[in-house]
Chains A and B, each alone.
Chain A
Amino acid sequence: MINISSKLVRDAVQELAKLPGIGAKTALRLVLHLLRQDVDTSVMLGNAIVSMRTNIKFCIKCHNIADGDYCHICTNPQRDGSTICIVENIKDVMVIENTGQFKGLYHVLGGIISPMDGIGPSHLNLDNIEKRIVENNVKEVIFALPTTIEGDTTSFYIFKKLKPLNLNITTLARGVAIGDDLEYTDEITLGRSLVNRVMYSV
């Protein structure tokens, strides 16, 4: 690593370099950039990070990030409380929100079942889900989990848990991506799209 004479700079570089996607060189570039700016810039950045991390809460209902006890989605009266979309993490909430196609609520698992990685069902945010469904009279649960073996495993596990509640359980459609040539679609996806084909409508 580059020899840095100031311990203060060195510490800052070391901390930044712990972040994903940031190596020692990038970290140093960021620190040197901050040094060229007003002191305020660094103070604001530092405060924002500290305040974010110490004050952030997780929604009691859906486990999404929240500024209070409940997140902005769960407290929005415009949202349809009878549909819950189950996702792996907070980032997935953001991705689905960006589509603008979903008006229901979420349930963030905070992980996916993978015993190989030491994650079993007890590590997921599943304790309150049945209660949530019954109390809020939920009609449909949508699985929006990864299309991997672990995703399937997790879906199946939750499916078994929710089956006695007698509600509609659906999963995201899997198929040919929009704008893709069939030639470049992988065989499994294409095969599955054929099996699960839909009625043509205009």
Chain B
Amino acid sequence: MHQHPFSMFLKQLNILNFKNYEESSLEFSPRINCFAGNNGVGKTNILDAIHYLSLTKSYFNPVDTQNINYSKDFFVLEGKYVLDGVAENVFCGVQRNQGKKFKRNDKEYGKISEHIGLIPVVMISPGDSELILGGSEMRRRYIDSVISQYNRHYLEQLIRYNHVLQQRNSYLKMAAKSGIFDTTMIEMFDMQLIKCGEYIFEERKIFFSRLQPVFDQYYEFLSGGAELVQLKYESALFIESFADLLAHSIEKDKILQYTTSGIHKDDLSMEIYGLPIKKNGSQGQQKTLLVALKLAQYQFIHQIRSLYPILLLDDIFDKLDEKRVRQIITVVSELQNGQIFITDTHPQRLKGILAELEVDNKVYFIENNLFTTI
């Protein structure tokens, strides 16, 4: 008998006061689920609810309370999952002025971050273009969210690093104001930064070395192999040790009153024929790169966790033509398991693709906050 990877799927989603929804309960297929409807009916919000339950935050809006239905005081999301045959219930509640609660099987988490990684998810959305067009912070956040989904320790180190960094920056400001600069203080912040920072650097390096070949395959598959596109992890730690780096920048740090070097300045460069794709790639090339990156992430998490993350394809036809979408869905549907959620404005287009595949599916049509299966 061949070995099955662990299966994982969302069986039921209950929504209360989330974004445009008031109260909805949806049952899903363990394989392919589609949401069709006009623009603005809230297709993407369903995907975002699923994202929330995995990563404890919205893919689109970082302010939790702004995801509450505008006329209400709280929202609740409840996901009933099946992980390798065992039921897992995830509860997320956000209340104005009260903060956020996460529960797994009715037990509240001590720290919400402990939940991240239980149910890996990959979202492909038109909003991804920010990864190319936006600042380096977007790309770091992306890298961190991927690694955190399979490495708990990484997330803890990252939280610690950011905390120490904030203390160091506050101290630089404090010292500039008082005129008293205590080198012991900097020495001890540096010691803490180096410990977490070097670990984070190593993990990011490993991540890229393993992601790169998978990415190359997907890019070739999606583009027909015409172009030379390269992802590159950039960090000042490639050039010198973190300790040297901090020592060399301390005078600059003192003047600018913040920490000018470290892994919080890392970046992911995306190049086409050796030039930044941001300026030198066509819209189509940029979209292809992003989809390849996300699919590589999907495959990569599968390799590490032996389970297929939940794949959320938001308005995928915006990025790819029907032929490519068909190819992706075919690839995923040929896997032994793995759950996908797709949104599209054209129900017939989705139905057409699904009709050819012998895979369990469910298609919802959304109108006026009501769901009908078609």
- Are the C-beta atoms of A157 and B180 separated by less than 8 Å? no
Q: Of B152, B171, B192, which one neighbours A120 at CB under 8 angstroms? A: B171
B87 part of interface (Cβ distance < 8 Å):
no
The stretch that binds A, out of B158-166, B293-301, B325-333, B364-372, is: B158-166
Q: Which residues of B contact A152 (CB under 8 A)?
A: 192
Q: Given A114-B167, A186-B110, are A157 and B174 also a contact pair (CB < 8 Å)?
A: no
Q: Mark B136-162, 1 if CB is under 8 A from A, else 0.
A: 000000000000000010001000100
Q: Which residues of B contact A187 (CB under 8 A)?
A: 152
Q: Which residues of B contact A115 (CB under 8 A)?
A: 167-168, 170-171, 173-174, 185
- Are the C-beta atoms of A160 and B184 separated by less than 8 Å? yes
Majority-rule SS of A interface residues: helix
- Are the C-beta atoms of B184 and A149 separated by less than 8 Å? no
Q: Which residues of A contact B360 (CB under 8 A)?
A: none
Q: Of A122, A149, A161, A186, which one neighbours B164 at CB under 8 angstroms? A: A149
- Interface residues on chain B, size class: 20 to 34
Majority-rule SS of B interface residues: helix
Q: How far is the CB of B196 from chain A (nearest CB, A)?
A: 10
Q: How far is the CB of B195 from chain A (nearest CB, A)?
A: 10
Q: How far is the CB of B101 from chain A (nearest CB, A)?
A: 18
B188 part of interface (Cβ distance < 8 Å):
yes
Q: How many A-B residue pairs have CB under 8 A?
A: 47
- Are the C-beta atoms of A122 and B180 separated by less than 8 Å? yes
Q: Which residues of A contact B187 (CB under 8 A)?
A: 160
A157 to B191, CA, bound (A): 12
- Are the C-beta atoms of A156 and B170 separated by less than 8 Å? no
Q: Mark A140-175, 1 if CB is under 8 A from B, else 0.
A: 000000000110110011001100000000000000
- Interface residues on chain A, size class: 10 to 19
Q: Mark B24-36, 1 if CB is under 8 A from A, else 0.
A: 0000000000000
Q: Given A115-B170, A116-B167, A160-B187, are A188 and B192 also a contact pair (CB < 8 Å)?
A: no
Q: How far is the CB of B28 from chain A (nearest CB, A)?
A: 31
A130 to B31, CA, bound (A): 68
Interface centre among A118, A120, A157, A188 (most CB of B within 10 A): A120
Interface residues of A in 82-118 (CB under 8 A from B): 113-116, 118
B240 part of interface (Cβ distance < 8 Å):
no
- Are the C-beta atoms of B191 and A150 separated by less than 8 Å? no
A121 part of interface (Cβ distance < 8 Å):
yes
A149 to B192, CA, bound (A): 9
Q: Given A122-B180, A186-B110, A188-B156, are A150 and B185 also a contact pair (CB < 8 Å)?
A: no
- Are the C-beta atoms of B188 and A153 separated by less than 8 Å? yes
Complex: chain B residue closest to A161, CB-CB: B184
Q: How far is the CB of B39 from chain A (nearest CB, A)?
A: 44
Q: Mark B107-121, 1 if CB is under 8 A from A, else 0.
A: 000100000000000
Q: How far is the CB of B343 from chain A (nearest CB, A)?
A: 37
Known: A120-B171, A153-B188, A156-B188. 11 other contacts (CB 8 A): A120-B174, A120-B182, A120-B185, A121-B184, A149-B164, A149-B167, A149-B192, A150-B167, A157-B185, A161-B184, A186-B110
Chain A contact residues, CB within 8 Å of chain B: 113-116, 118, 120-122, 149-150, 152-153, 156-157, 160-161, 186-188
Can you list the 7 inter-chain pairs with the closest CB atoms, starting with the nearest? Answer: A115-B170, A115-B171, A156-B188, A116-B170, A160-B184, A115-B174, A149-B163
